[in-house]
Structure 1
Amino acid sequence: MVLYQQLIHLCREAKEPEKAVCYGYKFEKLLKEMDENKKLWEQQTYGEFCEGYIKTPDHLYGARVDCVACALKLDAQEDAFFFLKRLPWEQGDILCRYYPEFERWKEIYTSSFRKVFSKFWTDASIPSDASNSLREGEALPVYLLFQKALCLLQDNKTDEGGALLLHCMTHPDSDEAYLRKLLLKEAIRHQISVSLLAKQADWDTWVFVAKVVEELPYTLNSRIQACEENLKEDYPFHSLCLKKHRLRQKLSKGFPLWEELIQTLEAYCLCIMEFYRGLYHDEIFEVKNISSLPNEYRFASTVLEALAKLEQMQMPEAVRLLGEALHIMPDMTGVITELFRQAARRMDNPALHAGEEFLKLAGQMKDTLYALLDTSQTVQASQILKQVLPLMPEELELIWIGQELIRRRKL
C-alpha cells in the first residue's frame, strides 16, 4: 500500500496519468480488504509501515487528489468522481488544503470539472460515509455549495445562484482564508452583495481584498466599484479599503492618459488619507508625528503635494517630491514613472502651447478626417493623420481614427 501511494505520486509527476489511475484503483481495493479484516493491519504493521502511516491525511488524501488530477487530464470523468468522493468533504480543516488545487483544475479542465463536481448533487451512487447527506442541497459541504452556486449563475439562474452564494458566506467554514477570497472574487464578478463577508471580517482579515483585486482582470474594475458603493453606508472603512485597491488597479492596469492619470492618482491618495484619518486621532497627523504614520499615508501626502506643484508648473520641486514618494513606496515605481513620461511629453507637445487658431484648425482637420472615413477615402485620411497626430499625440479621437484606418486596411 505504501508503494502504491508512492507510485501514484511518481506517475503523476512523470506525466503517466493512466498508470497513476490504475495504481489508485489497486490501492483502494487493497485498502478495502485491509479494513474488512482488521487483523491484517496488525499482522502487517512493522516500524513506520502501519495503518496510521497509510491513513495520514497527506498520504491518503494526497494520493487520491493525484488520481483525480490524472483522471481529469484523461477526461475520465467517472474515474475522477470515484476518487473525488473519497476526499474528507465533512472535514473542512483538511479539505481546505486542496482548494487551490481544485481551482487549478477548474481553470484547466473547465468542462470536465463542472460535470464531475455536479455529480455530487445529481448522482445517487454517493456512499453514505462519503458525506453527511451530500445529495441534499443545503447539506452539501461549503465548497460544493460554492461550486453549485457558480453552476447556477453560469446557467443564468441568477436568483437561485445568488441566494446560494450568500448562503455560503454565512456557512461556519466560510472564514477559511482561501475560501473567503474565492467568495469575494465571485461576488464581485456576479455583482452580489459582499456585506455578509464584510460583517464577518475584522481589519486583520479584510486585507485579503488586496489579493482579490490584484487577481481580478481590469475589465471588472467597474464591478469592484459597484461592490464598493454597496458597502459604503454600513461598512465605510471596508468600502474605502476596496476603493483604494480598485484605484490602484486602475493606475497600474488601466493605462490612463494624462488627465485621467492625474485624477485617478489624486483620488487614490485622497482615499488613503481618508482611510487613515478615520482610524487615528487628529494629533497623530501633526508634523512631529508624520514619520510614525504608515508608509501608505506618507506616500499619499507626498504625492498630493507633488501634484499641486505640477499644477503650478514648479517642476523641480514636483520631481523632488515624486522621488521622495518612490523611496517611501517603491512598488509604485511603475505609476510614478508613467507620470514622469507623460509630463515630459506634454512639455514637448506644441498643441498644449498653441493658441486658439491652432485648436480651431485642429478641429477642422478632425472633421475632414471623419468625412473621408465616411466616404471610404482611407488613403487621403492616412496622409492627413500623419501630419496631425504628431501635433496632438494624446488626442483620443485621432488615436481612434488611426485604429479604424488600420482595421479597414486589413479588411
Structure 2
Amino acid sequence: MTVRVNGRVVTPTGVIRQGCVEWDGDRITAVAEYPSVRDGHWILPGFVDMHTHGGGGHTFTTGDADEARAAADFHLTHGTTTLLASLVSAPFPLMRTATEAFAPLVEEGVLAGVHFEGPYLSAARCGAQNPEYLRDPSTDELTELIELGRGAIRMVTLAPERDGALEAIKLLTAQRVVAAVGHTDATYEQTRAAVAAGASVGTHLFNGMRPVHHREPGPVVALLDAPTVICELVADGVHLHDGMLTFVTATAGPDRAALITDAMAAAGMPDGEYELGGQAVTVADGVARLARDGAIAGSTLTMDAALRHAVNAGIPIADAARMVATTPARAIGLGDRVGALQVGLRADLVVLDDDLNVVRVLRGGSWVE
C-alpha cells in the first residue's frame, strides 16, 4: 500500500517547496511536487551518523549488545535512521567481543556496522583515547576481526605515521572496509601516502590532529585537498568554531563534508560523571571532558542538533541535509541504500518543524513510536 507525506521536501538537488514523498513497504516510490501543499513541515532524509559512541545513557564502547540496541534506539528518536557503533581504543579481546556481539545487530539492521576508532592511533594526538591501549596497526588483528564480523566491520580509524599503517590501509580497502585517518601527528606527506593507499575519510577533522602550519600543512590540508576523502565535522560549537565549520563546507563542499555526533553515553542525559574507554568523564553544561586532563571526550550531540547548528551557522538547509545523510551514507559505502529521498532507496525520513526540531521519524517505511 502506498503511503505519502507532504511538505517541504529536501532532495539531493534542492528543496521542493510544495512536495511529497511516497513509499510502499520499505522503499521510496516517488518524490515529486504536490501543488496543493502549502509549506508544511520540512521533510529530510533519515540521518546517517558514521561516528557515535553512544547516547541516552548507553554506550557502544563496552561491546554489550543490549547497550548498543538501547543507544541506537535513543539516536533513532533524534532522526538517525542509520548509524555505526563506534568503539574507542581497547585491548584486542574487547575488540573481538564487541565484533561478536554487534555482528547479529548488523545482520538485523539495528546497526549499519562497527567502527573501530583506534587503537592504532598517535600517542601525541590521542585526545580522549586511553593511551594505555595505543599500539601499531596489526594486519593479523584486522584480518581476524573482519572474518569474525562477517561484513559487520565498516570503518577503522588509524594514524598513518604508525609502523604498518599503510599495509593496514591496503588490507582494509581490499576487504571493502573504510580506512579513516584520525588521532594523528602525521605530516602532510604521510597523510597523502595514506590517501594514496586507500584512506577515504578524515575522522573529526582538526580534532586529534597536528594543527595546520604554513610550512608544514599537516593532515588537515592533505585531507581537505584530496578529492576522494570525506571529512567528518562535529558541529556542536565546542569541537569546532563555526567559522571553521563553514570554511570546510565551502572548501570541500557538502559532498565531501559529513556531520557526525561523536556522541558518548551522556548525549541526552543530565550533566554529571560518566565513563569512556575506561576513563572518567565529567559533563558540565553539556560539554564532555576527561576528568584527568580536561580533553574533550566526545560530545553530547544528536544529529538533529548538529543539523540545527549547521543551519544556524549559515549553511543552507539543502547542503546541511546532504552533510547529515547523503554524504555520510556514501562515505561508508551505503549510498545506494540510504541517505537521500530518492526512488528505490529505503524509506527513511525525518519530519521537522520550522525550528528543525524532530516531529516524526520514518525508518524502513514504518513510523517510529
Q: TM-score, normalised by structure 1?
A: 0.24
Larger Cα Rg: Structure 1 or Structure 2? 1
User: Which gives a bigger RCO, structure 1 or 2 (Cα 8 Å, sep 6+)?
Assistant: 2
Point out the structure with the larger helix share.
Answer: 1
Point out the structure with the larger strand share.
Answer: 2
